């Protein structure tokens, strides 16, 4: 490490000061002493994620390691596990008793809302208490919120996989001797706070303790079942330990008292700086002293970070010139290699801009982010456009799909903000569609109520009715909407209905009544109103449904006819042909009795492709048997992490089917997996499949 070009930030002076919980100047005397004794050496080097400028870093020597080893306490004999983005642990000053009490309260099964002013040390206290709990053998699952976090994002941080349903998240995450943590809850956007509050209510009533860390006031009050603990500043005798040890004690106590023992304010203070006269004036100190000490470069970088909706990697900054100054001034808050200003500083700086100044800054930032590619750049660009008051409906509709595919929760926030500023019909429709794709029926209904009457509104009302389980109302609304559509839209809507009805069932053969209804609908679809290219795609969708029905009914002649048309339409798509051939070979076998030749063919087909076709091949093979060989179970495990798009109906249905098969194959987690599958089927507007699975869950229980 002493020869490395790049070193971790933890070895830099700001990183060391942060981990020790002291101001940077407090390191000078002890580091000098240790360097003289040969326990450490210092040099300049690049810091990973810290920008292009070299910094002073500290390395322990062999003598230092030996000294540390001679004085190292015995390690705990029991240690549990932790999951999620736990922040780096730092030394707490004057919080030992608070940490012990918090850990004891949580260990006794009490759930807690830990509140307090920004920068007072809530997250640090929570992190220390979590460490105590892990050391006692418990499991800790940690989630940190941002403006784009929703219940699903919190569940993913806790569990390492994405679940859409709060009850499924709760069932998977809760357990005895488990602590669930939600940090920075005040960062939640109102679009997602109700969903997170629901998740908190579910988890707090389970076997786990839950700790919610939030800046006062909480966006959802004090949830039922949680006890509030308010964290105040440090007492002067403890606060002075953050300051340099060579500072006169009387002056140190005076500084601590004037800054109300506020840990972040103490870290920001430098000897000789003017202090506020009132202990309540921490914000005034930040604005009048901390900000004014910054150079022009420091302020430019600070403004760029304050404008951003999300923490940024230093290499993402358009002007990183002030990064080192901000870091050494304890202004930055780091999460790995990304950073943002401490929220107290961010809020003070944002509040200092006039409305026109803020709009101008956001407008310039939007132009800069427009030069970069990718969904993250579009998400940040949209934030700046909205805050600049520059709502471009066409741009939003063109880019919201890519943003949603990367992070649907972020896209939901963007559309909510955009609709509030510009009540555009296309944006409102996009907000409805995204809400339906996310399974947020009540949000969709609110937006639908603002749409103009017409076929577009009715078709979305039909989707809502279907997701609520009212099939009769959905059919009536859909039929009325389709009758009002021009021929091309009518054909597309009828094809979508045909495919959805075919998929609206649990895996297995299509039963005769449904097959008859599907054939009738397929025969009635008029494609003449479509353009030639669209007509070919529409006919392909219809023939795929006909082929599936023919295989299930044993009509080999019809299956062969449909296959010929399909093959001529898809051309050289080997994966699609492999799927057709596999379905054909499996359909001719007695259910559950597959010959070795057919088994080998299925395995070879599965191993030869990737992505969506691989998932569909695995599902087709699973459907055909009663007992599942190890290689097939392992193959299904390999597709669990493959990202399926919420904005594509076929992929939403495929995702629901994947959760169904997980419940079949993972017996110990069957109920939670099937609960998630039910919700996914509802989101995919497959009520029949959802209801069939609910019946299976009831029998399982």
pLDDT at 496: 93
Cα 143 to Cα 473: distance, rounded to the nearest angstrom: 40
Which residues share a beta bridge with 57? 12, 43
Which residues share a beta bridge with 55? 45
Cα 166 to Cα 180: distance, rounded to the nearest angstrom: 14
| pLDDT above 70 for 228 | yes
Mean pLDDT of the chain: 91
More confident position, 181 or 3 = 181
Cα 466 to Cα 444: distance, rounded to the nearest angstrom: 13
pLDDT at 279: 47
pLDDT in tens, 248-296: 899 999 989 888 899 999 998 888 777 766 545 687 888 878 888 899 9
Q: Look up residue 670 and give its DSSP letter.
A: H
**Would you place residue 336 in the very low, low, confident or very high pLDDT band (cuts 50, 70, 90)?**
confident
pLDDT at 280: 53
Report whether the peptide linkage leading into residue 217 is cis, meaning its omega lies within 30 degrees of zero: yes
Q: What element of type H or E holds 663?
A: helix 649-665
pLDDT at 572: 64
Please give the order of strands across the beta sheet that includes 139-144: 82-83, 139-144, 178-183, 209-215, 111-116, 226-231
User: Rounded to 5 degrees, what angle do the CA atoms 363, 365, 367 make?
Assistant: 75
Segment 581-596 shows an average pLDDT of 71
**Would you place residue 205 in the very low, low, confident or very high pLDDT band (cuts 50, 70, 90)?**
confident
Segment 129-154 shows an average pLDDT of 96
pLDDT in tens, 29-47: 899 999 999 999 999 999 9
| pLDDT above 90 for 531 | no
pLDDT in tens, 471-514: 899 999 999 999 999 999 999 999 999 999 999 999 988 889 99
**Would you place residue 693 in the very low, low, confident or very high pLDDT band (cuts 50, 70, 90)?**
very high
**Would you place residue 218 in the very low, low, confident or very high pLDDT band (cuts 50, 70, 90)?**
confident
Segment 60-67 shows an average pLDDT of 92
pLDDT in tens, 359-405: 999 999 999 999 999 999 999 999 999 999 999 999 999 999 999 99
pLDDT at 554: 85
Q: How far is CA 130 from the centre of its chain?
A: 22
Contact (Cβ atoms closer than 8 angstroms) between residue 359 and residue 387: yes
Residue whose pair of structure tokens reads 């020869």 in the numeric block: 3
Report yes or no on whether pTM surpasses 0.95: no
pLDDT at 695: 95
pLDDT at 278: 55
């Amino acid at each position: 490490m002493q020869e490395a070009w790049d070193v971790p930030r933890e070895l830099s002076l700001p990183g060391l000061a942060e981990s020790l919980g002291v101001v940077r100047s407090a390191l000078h005397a002890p580091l000098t002493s240790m360097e003289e004794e040969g326990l450490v050496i210092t040099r300049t080097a690049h810091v990973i994620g810290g920008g292009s400028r070299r910094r002073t870093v500290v390395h322990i020597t062999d003598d230092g390691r030996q000294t540390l080893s001679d004085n190292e306490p015995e390690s705990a004999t029991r240690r549990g596990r932790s999951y999620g983005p736990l922040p780096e642990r730092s030394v707490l000053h004057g919080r030992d008793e608070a940490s012990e009490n918090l850990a004891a309260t949580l260990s006794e099964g009490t759930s807690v809302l830990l509140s307090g002013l920004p920068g007072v040390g809530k997250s640090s206290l929570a992190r220390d208490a979590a460490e105590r709990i892990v050391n006692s053998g418990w499991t800790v699952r940690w989630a940190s919120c941002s403006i784009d976090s929703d219940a699903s994002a919190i569940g993913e941080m806790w569990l390492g996989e994405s679940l859409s349903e709060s009850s499924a998240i709760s069932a998977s995450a809760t357990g005895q001797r488990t602590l669930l943590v939600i940090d920075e809850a005040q960062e939640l956007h109102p679009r997602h706070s109700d969903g997170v509050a629901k998740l908190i209510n579910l988890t707090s009533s389970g076997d786990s303790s839950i700790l919610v860390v939030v800046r006062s006031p909480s966006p959802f009050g004090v949830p039922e079942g949680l006890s509030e603990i308010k964290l105040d500043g440090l007492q002067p005798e403890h606060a002075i330990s953050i300051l340099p040890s060579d500072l006169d004690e009387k002056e140190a106590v005076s500084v601590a008292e004037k800054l109300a023992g506020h840990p972040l304010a103490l870290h920001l203070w430098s000897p000789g700086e003017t202090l506020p006269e009132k202990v309540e004036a921490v914000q005034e100190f930040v604005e009048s002293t901390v900000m004014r000490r910054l150079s022009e470069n420091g302020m430019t970088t600070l403004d760029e970070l304050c404008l951003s909706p999300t923490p940024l990697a230093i290499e993402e900054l358009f002007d990183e010139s002030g990064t080192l100054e901000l870091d050494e001034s304890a202004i930055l808050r780091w999460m790995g290699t990304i950073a943002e200003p401490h929220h107290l500083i961010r809020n003070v700086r944002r509040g200092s801009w006039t409305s026109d100044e803020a709009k101008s800054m956001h407008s310039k930032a939007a132009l800069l982010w427009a030069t970069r590619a990718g969904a993250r750049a579009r998400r940040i660009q949209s934030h700046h456009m909205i805050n600049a008051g520059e709502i471009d409906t066409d741009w939003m509709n063109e880019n919201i799909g890519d943003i949603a595919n990367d992070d649907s929760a972020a896209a939901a926030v963007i559309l909510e903000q955009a609709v509030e500023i510009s009540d555009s019909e296309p944006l409102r429709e996009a907000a409805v569609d995204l809400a339906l794709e996310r399974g947020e029926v009540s949000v969709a209904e609110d937006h639908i109520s603002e749409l103009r009457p017409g076929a577009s509104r009715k078709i979305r009302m039909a989707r809502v009715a279907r997701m609520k389980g009212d099939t009769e109302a959905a059919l009536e609304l859909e039929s009325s909407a389709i009758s009002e559509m021009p021929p091309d839209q009518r054909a597309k809507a009828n094809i979508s209905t045909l495919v959805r009805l075919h998929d609206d069932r649990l895996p297995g053969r299509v039963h005769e009544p449904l097959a008859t209804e599907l054939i009738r609908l397929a025969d009635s679809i008029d494609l003449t109103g479509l353009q030639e290219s669209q007509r070919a795609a529409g006919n392909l969708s219809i023939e795929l449904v006909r082929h599936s029905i023919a295989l299930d009914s044993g009509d080999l002649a019809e299956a062969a006819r449909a296959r010929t048309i399909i093959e001529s339409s898809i051309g050289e798509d080997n994966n699609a042909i492999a799927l057709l051939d596999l379905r054909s070979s499996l359909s001719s076998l007695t259910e559950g009795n597959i010959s070795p030749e057919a088994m080998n063919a299925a395995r070879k087909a599965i191993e030869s492709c990737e992505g969506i076709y691989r998932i569909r091949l695995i599902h087709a093979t699973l459907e055909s048997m009663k007992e599942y060989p190890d290689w097939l179970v392992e193959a299904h495990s390999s597709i669990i992490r493959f990202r399926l798009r919420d904005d594509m109906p076929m992929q939403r249905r495929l995702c629901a089917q994947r959760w169904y098969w997980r419940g079949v194959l993972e017996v110990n987690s069957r109920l939670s997996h099937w609960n998630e599958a039910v919700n996914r089927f509802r989101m995919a507007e497959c009520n029949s499949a959802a209801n069939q699975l609910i019946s299976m869950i009831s029998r399982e229980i």
